[in-house]
Structure 1
Amino acid sequence: MSDAARPGGGAIRAPAARPGWVRRGQRLALKLADLRAVRARRGFDGLRGRYYDTLWTEAARDVGASVTALPGGIHEIRRGALRTFVRRSELMLDSALAERLMADKTLTYRLFAEMGLNLPEHQDFSLSDMRPAAELLSRHPAGIVVKPATGTGGGRGVTTGIRDTVSLGRAARYAASFNARLLAEPQITGHNYRLLYLDGQLIDAVRRDPPMVTGDGRTDIAGLIRAENARRKAGAPVLALSPLIIDRDCLNTLAAAGHTPRSVPRGGERLDVKTAINENAAPQNHHVTGEVHPDIAAQGARIARGLGIRLAGLDLFSADIAADPATAAPVFGEINVAPGLHHHHLTAAPPEGPATASCVLAYLLDRKEGVMTL
């Protein structure tokens, strides 16, 4: 096995391959360790269901329609002879195959590259051959990210802030417990944005900041996270639809700031506790639709239309969403089919215009798209 040269001297050696039975045992151990996180997320199922029940009830009222809750979290929405069915953020627009294809991050990057988009450098790899990831790390010693290449969402299996091969091996084994195909890419700087398109029209954009807690001078970070999860689960008001999980991403983020879960922040100190933004809460989400540079908005529309995704959540990184993309060079991450509409409702302040779900529902019924006529 060859070494990958580290810029400035030295070398990074890919973690040694382990026998198959060892790898299988490690993946099983990681899955068992993840059971606590699974139980924590399932503890929010009731809140998530109630939230979307309210969301669609209010959206139906806004457009003069009626709504009936059906088993399985499905809502039947009627206006005159028109009828549509929704399930949380799933609409009668995009196919299950389209969702599956766009969930494959490697395929998405290939399609983005064919469209001439600015992408992060990335490497496919597996536990049986870690060399591509180790070589990427050697080129980006400031840190890389490892994630499953497909089969997950919501940040599951993702580890950020990887700066050495020990962390790389640990992150790869964690990601492989979700999917054998793995993806490594550099840690990208800049803000994380979600642009929401409906049939190629930009209908909302939010800046999504990392999850954070605020110190009280007495409670350690683990305790602050427990208190934050209790507030979230109480749902009064609804702040988030998932808990904060102390996982490897959390540990790496804290370590980079010189902390551990047992550290006690100063009173009033605001501290990012994860780098992946999927588990953030309403105070960390900000509407920026009016700030999006026209060329970025147009480029996003071209992507959504080109890939044939009707309701598309386009994720990108940029230091400034208002800057000319010719100079700011935003980096495109992924495109989500049936993206979570709650990201556009659970925000620090309400949007200036109509609520996103109401806009979507009005579009469906007014244009007779994704509906039945009975």
Structure 2
Amino acid sequence: MTEVAPPHAGWRRPAGLSSLPGLGKLHRLPDARDILRRRQFEPLRAAFHDRLWREAAAAVGATHSHHSQGLHRIARGRLVTFTRGSDLMLDNAITLTLVTDKQECYRVFAARGLPVPPHRAFDKSDLTSAETFLRESAGPVVVKPNLGTGGGRGVTTGITTRAALRKAIRRAARFGPDLLIEAQIPGASFRLYYLDGRLIDAVRRDPPELTGDGRRSIRQLVAAENHNRLTSTPPTALSPLVVDADMRNWLTRSGLGPSSVPSAGARIIVKAVVNENASPQNHSVRAEVHPDIVDRLGRLVTDMGVRAAGVDLIAPDIARPLDAGDIFVSEINANPGLHHHVLVADPANAVPVARLALDHIFETRTGVMLL
């Protein structure tokens, strides 16, 4: 895999990545191994965000310190704001909850004339409705939880058979009974980051990719990739690559499986869900976004009252207007992950999203406490 220049000079890997307390109890939970893998990345995520906010605070002439409950306290003069991970003090709890309702968001998008993927909401017990949607679809479909999740959790793509559909429903239903099935739209995945309706950055997020060596299986390459993610300085990703139904479905369509051994130098896309990719697959494309997309999505997030918003698009490219016919608005996220914009293939040209967020907060005097 291509080496990437450090997005944060002087970054050091945090201690304790291999020993986390309380993991023994997880064997009683579904997907225990996946939970364990994600838990292993918690110190890495904490160290990344610590560095991110300390550097951003210094860049805007503010001070940074740690507060209780994992908060970062950032002060400039009498103005103080707090962050946690990528979360800012801009959106309220109700807004954060509402935007996790994917079906409701689709209704809002469609009411504004924005293109959305063909979809259907259904209850986990309503297999007939989901099977009818699959049968009537021209290509593969996606099943996901409708409420309260993000980061690709519970999502299965590439579903073409009734058996695969039922497995995907069982997986998604672990997060709740309300589910969504939708057509799998061809195209690249784009994330647009807005602050109070102003576009700050856009990234194209390509699917996770591995390079074969002619000796190791895809499963072994995944394990090596996860070890690299945990030990690289600076980090290339903040979450593990997981062998799950989404990966198996994708590989099956390519005539492969987790036990397949790719030839030396072969570059293999291993799953469709982009949330588990790494920095070589993230590309800043702010300059390519069509003005129609910038304007209409800016008005969308403003009218929905989402102040720190990440809007996801599926499109062949992002240099055409929204009504081009093959561009779809797939999701809106409040307090979206900033790491997608920092851990990119060309970090020297990355947009400093954390610094711009703090500038915005202090200049508008919103999302702050006056002390």
TM-score, structure 1 normalization: 0.90
Aligned with 2:165 (options 154, 168, 172)? 168
Look up the match of 2:321.
324
Gaps of 5+ in 1: 1-29
Query: What is the identity, as a one-letter code, of the residue corresponding to 2:53?
Result: W
Deviation at 1:235, TM superposition (A): 3.4
* Cα distance in 2 between the residues matched to 1:74 and 1:308: 24
Look up the match of 2:196.
199
* Cα distance in 1 between the residues matched to 2:351 and 2:364: 18
Look up the match of 2:302.
305
Aligned residue for 2:61, secondary structure, equals coil
1:51-66 residue pairs with structure 2 within 5 A?
A: 51-66=48-63
Look up the match of 2:244.
247
Deviation at 1:203, TM superposition (A): 0.4
Look up the match of 1:333.
330
Look up the match of 1:359.
356
* Cα distance in 2 between the residues matched to 1:138 and 1:341: 38
* Cα distance in 2 between the residues matched to 1:113 and 1:31: 42
Cα-to-partner distance string for 1:294-351 (whole Å, 9 max, x where unaligned): 1011111011111010000000111110123332441001100000011110100126
Look up the match of 1:22.
none
Cα-to-partner distance string for 1:231-263 (whole Å, 9 max, x where unaligned): 101131210000001010011011111111110
Query: What is the identity, as a one-letter code, of the residue corresponding to 2:104?
Result: L
Aligned with 1:50 (options 27, 47, 51)? 47
* Cα distance in 1 between the residues matched to 2:115 and 2:192: 16
Look up the match of 2:221.
224
Cα-to-partner distance string for 1:74-113 (whole Å, 9 max, x where unaligned): 0000111111111111111001111111011111111112
Query: CA contact under 8 A between 2:344 and 2:350: conserved in structure 1?
Result: no
Cα-to-partner distance string for 1:11-30 (whole Å, 9 max, x where unaligned): xxxxxxxxxxxxxxxxxxx9
Look up the match of 1:369.
366
Structure 1 residue runs of 4+, over 4 Å off? none
TM-score, structure 2 normalization: 0.90
Aligned residue for 2:230, secondary structure, equals helix
Aligned residue for 1:154, secondary structure, equals coil
1:72-87 residue pairs with structure 2 within 5 A?
A: 72-87=69-84
Deviation at 1:225, TM superposition (A): 0.3
Deviation at 1:31, TM superposition (A): 8.1
* Cα distance in 1 between the residues matched to 2:258 and 2:42: 26
Cα-to-partner distance string for 1:190-217 (whole Å, 9 max, x where unaligned): 1100000000000000000001111011
1:142-291 residue pairs with structure 2 within 5 A?
A: 142-291=139-288
Aligned residues between the structures: 345
Aligned residue for 2:126, secondary structure, equals coil
Cα-to-partner distance string for 1:29-83 (whole Å, 9 max, x where unaligned): x984411111110100000000000000000011111100123220000111111
* Cα distance in 2 between the residues matched to 1:38 and 1:337: 24
* Cα distance in 2 between the residues matched to 1:281 and 1:325: 28
Aligned residue for 1:106, secondary structure, equals helix
State yes or no: 1:117 paired with 2:102.
Answer: no
Aligned with 1:67 (options 64, 68, 74)? 64
Cα distance change on mapping 1:344 and 1:316 into 2, 3 Å: same
Query: CA contact under 8 A between 1:293 and 1:324: conserved in structure 2?
Result: yes
State yes or no: 1:131 paired with 2:128.
Answer: yes
Query: CA contact under 8 A between 2:191 and 2:311: conserved in structure 1?
Result: yes
* Cα distance in 2 between the residues matched to 1:161 and 1:31: 29
Look up the match of 2:3.
none
* Cα distance in 1 between the residues matched to 2:160 and 2:28: 24
Query: CA contact under 8 A between 2:115 and 2:322: conserved in structure 1?
Result: no
Aligned residue for 1:103, secondary structure, equals coil
Cα distance change on mapping 1:347 and 1:119 into 2, 3 Å: same
Higher mean C-alpha deviation, range 291-300 or range 316-325: 316-325
Deviation at 1:220, TM superposition (A): 0.5
Query: CA contact under 8 A between 2:201 and 2:351: conserved in structure 1?
Result: no
Deviation at 1:159, TM superposition (A): 0.7
Cα-to-partner distance string for 1:156-212 (whole Å, 9 max, x where unaligned): 111111101111111111111111111100111111000000000000000000011
Query: What is the identity, as a one-letter code, of the residue corresponding to 2:65?
Result: T
Gaps of 5+ in 2: 1-26
Cα distance change on mapping 1:353 and 1:142 into 2, 3 Å: closer
Identity of aligned residues (%): 48
Query: CA contact under 8 A between 1:316 and 1:331: conserved in structure 2?
Result: yes
Query: CA contact under 8 A between 2:188 and 2:317: conserved in structure 1?
Result: yes
* Cα distance in 2 between the residues matched to 1:328 and 1:285: 25
